[in-house]
């Protein structure tokens, strides 16, 4: 029965049903986004026609899947700074879903097409001067992207080839492994308090899973951005590598992870992440309302406006 479940369903929810012996998908909250896995006739035909297939219809995101290695490369390409707009977040969630359902796919390397920026985080303009309904829709998309990435059963590696503040750091932290270019000009961290906003509990929980409680508390309160070397020191990044080798090092690291049998690694991953995922799933609607109320406040809108104005000033 366990083997059957593993072969027919995908996503961390499905893995954990096997691990915990949970009898029915409907009684497992994390099962919500598990999806059909195996076998799919279309996918078999697809495999015989091409080794590398590009499958993202968006110009803001490219996804190339290599059938031979089972590794997909997901590249953010939303100029000028790869900010996470509603559109890009939606594309990311769809793309991750497609990879999850592709039986040939075992791992994803996430990186940026931009030379110096991994991602500037959430698109601040999506959080300014918009109606409440827009804030609700935007925040649901942020949650959805996090659920897909943090809850992915695939091996996920972040090849961080530039700065990665706030939501950019969140995406990297969702991955199983983080490599960062050793350029001291780059930085990574959750800087929300510096914008006068608050990282929500699931950003905090994700960070705690990576660096522990003490470093998270200090980092979040002070909105700390770390250089690559500092990020390795606190455990936010696993390794720095010369800038020009980030991608190749990510491939080598991926090969190491893919030596582990998928089912054992997936069940282990889901055991580690289930509580954090369940926490958000149980409070998804109230989290959306909290965000919409918080971001609509005049004082918060003023903080964001001032932050964006400061960002637009010529850099010294
Ligand atoms: C009861 C409890 C209640 C609690 C409830 C909690 C509710 C939740 C609260 C809200 C939580 C929100 C969580 C937010 C997460 C985020 O991700 S916020 C975004 C944070 N991001 C940043 O601070 C990054 C800011 N950008 C930079 O630091 C730099 O731009 C860069 C990325 C390092 C790149 O630098 P550089 O190459 O020098 O480019 P710039 O010249 O600075 O920028 C180019 C243009 O891009 C614009 N821009 C930059 N970042 C963003 C962005 N994040 N969004 C939108 N636009 C951005 C920048 O303004 C420039 O624009 P122009 O001047 O018009 O060209």
Q: Tens digit of pLDDT for each residue in 175-201?
A: 999 999 999 999 999 999 999 999 999
Tens of pLDDT along 241-298? 999 999 999 999 999 999 999 999 999 999 999 999 999 999 999 999 999 999 999 9
**Residue 146 DSSP symbol:** H
Q: Identify which has the larger pLDDT, 139 or 45.
A: 139
Determine the Cα–Cα distance for residues 235 and 228; give it in Å rounded to an integer: 10
pLDDT at 218: 98
Give me ligand 1 centre to Cα 171, in Å: 15
Residues 6+ apart with CB under 8 A from 228: 180, 181, 182, 183, 184, 186, 187, 188, 237, 240
Give me ligand 1 centre to Cα 112, in Å: 16
Ligand 1 nearest atom to the CA of residue 312, by list position: 63
Using the predicted structure, report yes or no on whether residue 36 has a pLDDT greater than 80.
no
Ligand 1 nearest atom to the CA of residue 119, by list position: 32
Give me ligand 1 centre to Cα 304, in Å: 9
Nearest CA to ligand 1 atom 7: 291
Ligand 1 nearest atom to the CA of residue 170, by list position: 17
pLDDT at 110: 98
Helix, strand or coil for residue 122? strand
Nearest CA to ligand 1 atom 23: 165
Copy the structure tokens of residue 158.
Answer: 């972040």
Residue 47 half-sphere exposure toward CB, CA atoms < 13 A: 14
Top mutation candidate among 205, 285, 311 for ligand 1, by most atoms within 8 Å of CB: 311
Residues 170, 202: contact at Cβ < 8 Å? no
Residues recorded for the chain: 316
Helix, strand or coil for residue 117? strand
Instruction: Give ligand 1 pocket residues (Cβ under 6 A).
Output: 80-81, 83, 117, 120-125, 163, 165-167, 191-192, 195, 197-200, 290-291, 294-295, 308, 311-312
Query: ipTM of the assembly?
Result: 0.97
Model confidence band, residue 16 (pLDDT cutoffs 50, 70, 90): low
Q: Which of 205, 177, 141, 168 is nearest to 269 (CA)?
A: 177
Nearest CA to ligand 1 atom 64: 312
Name the residues annotated as catalytic: 122, 167, 191-192
Give me ligand 1 centre to Cα 123, in Å: 6
Top mutation candidate among 118, 120, 223 for ligand 1, by most atoms within 8 Å of CB: 120
């Amino acid at each position: 029965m366990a083997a059957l479940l593993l072969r027919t369903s995908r996503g961390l929810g499905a893995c954990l049903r096997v691990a915990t012996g949970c009898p029915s998908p409907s009684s497992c909250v994390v099962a919500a986004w598990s999806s059909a896995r195996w076998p799919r006739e279309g996918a078999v035909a697809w495999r015989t026609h091409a080794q590398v297939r590009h499958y993202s219809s968006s110009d803001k995101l490219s996804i190339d899947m290599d059938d031979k290695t089972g590794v997909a490369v997901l590249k953010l390409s939303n100029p000028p700074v790869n900010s996470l707009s509603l559109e890009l977040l939606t594309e990311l969630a769809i793309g991750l879903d497609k990879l999850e359902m592709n039986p040939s796919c075992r791992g994803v390397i996430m990186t940026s097409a931009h030379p110096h920026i991994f991602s500037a985080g959430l698109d601040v303009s999506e959080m300014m001067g918009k109606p409440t309904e827009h804030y609700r829709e935007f925040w649901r998309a942020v949650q959805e992207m996090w659920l897909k990435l943090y809850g992915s059963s695939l091996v996920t590696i972040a090849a961080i080839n530039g700065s990665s503040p706030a939501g950019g750091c969140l995406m990297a932290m969702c991955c199983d492994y983080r490599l960062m270019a050793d350029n001291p000009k780059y930085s990574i961290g959750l800087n929300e308090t510096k914008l006068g906003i608050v990282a929500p509990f699931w950003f905090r929980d994700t960070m705690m899973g990576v660096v522990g409680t003490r470093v998270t508390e200090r980092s979040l309160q002070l909105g700390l951005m770390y250089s690559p070397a500092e990020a390795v020191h606190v455990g936010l990044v696993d390794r720095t590598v010369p800038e020009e080798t980030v991608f190749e090092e990510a491939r080598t690291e991926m090969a190491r992870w893919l030596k582990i049998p998928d089912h054992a690694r997936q069940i282990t991953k889901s055991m580690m992440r289930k509580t954090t995922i369940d926490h958000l799933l149980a409070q998804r609607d109230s989290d959306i309302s909290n965000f919409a109320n918080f971001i609509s406040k005049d004082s918060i809108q003023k903080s964001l406006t001032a932050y964006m104005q400061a960002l637009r000033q010529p850099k010294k």
